[in-house]
């Protein structure tokens, strides 16, 4: 088995374990994907005359360092971790390599299917802006925004109990980026780490609620719908501000089309990702001409751009562009007309 395939199975196994409803990762029975990943690693270790992990807990430890010499051969993407070495939660890289973005798209397609455009847009806006809901959310919405209260009734199935990883002193909160945060244990008010992984520590925790009575948006929707939504807004608003027509091709997957002067329309989607090869697979499946990433993205480096291009199928011209590069091109095109 090649390293890339093994890494995919490992990511699927660690992602499945992150949703394990037992008392913790050391308590069997384990999800099938997790057990399958362990079996594959054990077989590879034996084939290469290396000592395999003794069980799932040790495999989790291995997945905190993909460059460790314990592996029978280093999996692809050395320098990344599938499990955070400090907080023992699955990482964004793990979710991307496991293909969780496709789960998010499927959930959104189901949630918005067979709805009038205006109603679908209402549901989408609710999901992206309500990552954490509490026991009083329905009542508060009924008083302040009856339309949103009606939407919540239809999308409540997309919310889940708060995992123990995000509970500190019996409460759960959000980082300023809008994703779940782990606050400090002394006051419970300052962010020490969040699901986005790149936010600096020290920000105030927002919207703290009793964890036992709160619900979190499905993890796939948090990372692959809520997180990139602000980038999507910036890019579309920026293109419209230059006078270019932007058309949404599919609201569920946030694919858009823009027409530059004198050129055929091009399709694009906004992504907030950290694994270049996984993004190449996504952009290929999405059939977009341009994959737009934040200006601050680690994928904007020359090395990451080459990794993205190398992971594309031969002959498939998908352009990786930062938001500023896309908007700068739009402005320059307008000046040339």
Last residue of a domain, one of 175, 196, 219: 219
Please tell me whether residues 76 and 127 are part of one structural domain. Answer: no
Residue 109 covered by a domain:
no
Query: Which backbone phi and psi does 137 adopt, to 5 degrees?
Result: -60, -45
pLDDT of residue 217: 97
Residue 102 covered by a domain:
no
Q: Which residues of 20-42 are buried (b: 16+ CB within 10 A; e: fewer)?
A: beeeebeeeebbebbbbbbebbb
Please tell me whether residues 315 and 264 are part of one structural domain. Answer: yes
* CA distance to 113, 212, 291, per residue, from 176 (Å): 31, 22, 25
Please tell me whether residues 228 and 204 are part of one structural domain. Answer: no
- CA–CA separation, 130 vs 215, rounded Å? 10
Residue 114 covered by a domain:
no
- CA–CA separation, 290 vs 257, rounded Å? 10
Q: Which residues of 66-92 are buried (b: 16+ CB within 10 A; e: fewer)?
A: beeeebbeebbbeebbbbbeeeebbbb
Residue 281, classed as helix, strand or coil, is helix
CATH number at residue 276: 3.40.1350
- Report the side by side order of strands in the sheet with 132-133: 132-133, 215-217, 159-161
Domains contained in the chain, number: 3
Query: Which backbone phi and psi does 183 adopt, to 5 degrees?
Result: -85, 170
Mean pLDDT of the chain: 90
Residue 189 covered by a domain:
yes
CA angle 31, 33, 39 (to 5 degrees): 105
**Which of 90, 58, 106, 75 minimizes the C-alpha distance to 6?**
75
Residue 105 covered by a domain:
no
Last residue of a domain, one of 97, 129, 157: 97
Last residue of a domain, one of 182, 204, 219: 219
Contact status, residue 107 vs residue 219, Cβ threshold 8 Å: no
Please tell me whether residues 211 and 247 are part of one structural domain. Answer: no
pLDDT of residue 246: 94
Residues in the chain predicted with pLDDT less than 70, given as ranges, are 20-27, 74-78, 330-337
Please tell me whether residues 230 and 331 are part of one structural domain. Answer: yes
Please tell me whether residues 202 and 235 are part of one structural domain. Answer: no
Please tell me whether residues 275 and 307 are part of one structural domain. Answer: yes
Please tell me whether residues 167 and 66 are part of one structural domain. Answer: no
Structure tokens at 294: 């934040």
pLDDT of residue 15: 95
pLDDT of residue 333: 56
Say if residue 243 is exposed, middle or buried (CB neighbours under 10 Å; 0-12, 13-18, 19+): exposed
Residue 47 covered by a domain:
yes
Please tell me whether residues 127 and 83 are part of one structural domain. Answer: no
pLDDT of residue 23: 42
Provide the residue range defining the domain that includes 47.
3-97
pLDDT of residue 22: 46
Structure tokens at 318: 């998908």
Residue 205 covered by a domain:
yes
Please tell me whether residues 279 and 313 are part of one structural domain. Answer: yes
pLDDT of residue 28: 76
Residue 110 covered by a domain:
no
Residues 232-275 pLDDT 10s:
999 999 999 999 989 999 999 999 999 988 888 999 999 999 99
- CA–CA separation, 286 vs 271, rounded Å? 11
Please tell me whether residues 227 and 325 are part of one structural domain. Answer: yes
**Which of 267, 297, 265 minimizes the C-alpha distance to 279?**
297
Contact status, residue 175 vs residue 191, Cβ threshold 8 Å: yes
Which residue's structure tokens are 């999507």?
Answer: 232
Please tell me whether residues 147 and 81 are part of one structural domain. Answer: no
Contact status, residue 84 vs residue 196, Cβ threshold 8 Å: no
């Amino acid at each position: 088995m090649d390293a890339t395939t093994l890494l995919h199975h490992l990511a699927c196994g660690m992602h499945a374990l992150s949703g394990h409803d037992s008392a913790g990762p050391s308590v069997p029975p384990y999800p099938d994907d997790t057990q399958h990943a362990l079996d594959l690693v054990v077989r590879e270790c034996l084939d290469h005359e290396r000592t395999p992990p003794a069980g799932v807990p040790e495999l989790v430890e291995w997945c905190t360092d993909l460059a460790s010499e314990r592996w029978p051969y280093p999996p692809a993407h050395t320098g990344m971790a599938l499990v955070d070495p400090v907080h023992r939660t699955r990482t964004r890289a793990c979710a991307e390599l496991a293909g969780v973005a496709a789960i998010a798209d499927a959930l959104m397609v189901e949630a918005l299917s067979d709805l009038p455009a205006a109603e679908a847009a209402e549901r989408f806006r609710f999901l992206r802006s309500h990552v954490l809901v509490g026991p009083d959310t329905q009542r508060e919405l009924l008083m302040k925004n009856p339309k949103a209260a009606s939407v919540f009734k239809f999308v409540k199935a997309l919310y889940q109990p708060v995992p123990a990883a995000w509970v500190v002193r019996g409460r759960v909160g959000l980082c300023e980026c809008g994703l779940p945060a782990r606050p400090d244990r002394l006051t419970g008010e300052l962010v020490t780490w969040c699901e986005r992984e790149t936010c600096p520590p020290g920000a105030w925790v927002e919207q703290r609620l009793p964890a036992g009575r709160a619900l979190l948006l499905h993890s796939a929707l948090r990372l692959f719908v809520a997180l990139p939504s602000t980038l999507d807004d910036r890019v579309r608003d920026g293109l419209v501000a230059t006078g270019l027509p932007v058309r949404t091709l599919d609201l569920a997957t946030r694919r858009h089309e823009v027409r530059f002067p004198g050129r055929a329309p091009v399709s694009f989607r906004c992504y907030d990702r950290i694994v270049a090869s996984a993004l190449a697979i996504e952009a290929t499946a999405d059939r977009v001409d341009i994959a737009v990433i934040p200006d601050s993205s680690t994928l904007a480096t020359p090395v990451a751009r080459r990794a993205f291009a190398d992971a594309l199928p031969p002959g498939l011209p998908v352009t990786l562009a930062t938001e500023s590069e896309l908007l700068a091109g739009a402005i320059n095109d307008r000046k040339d007309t």
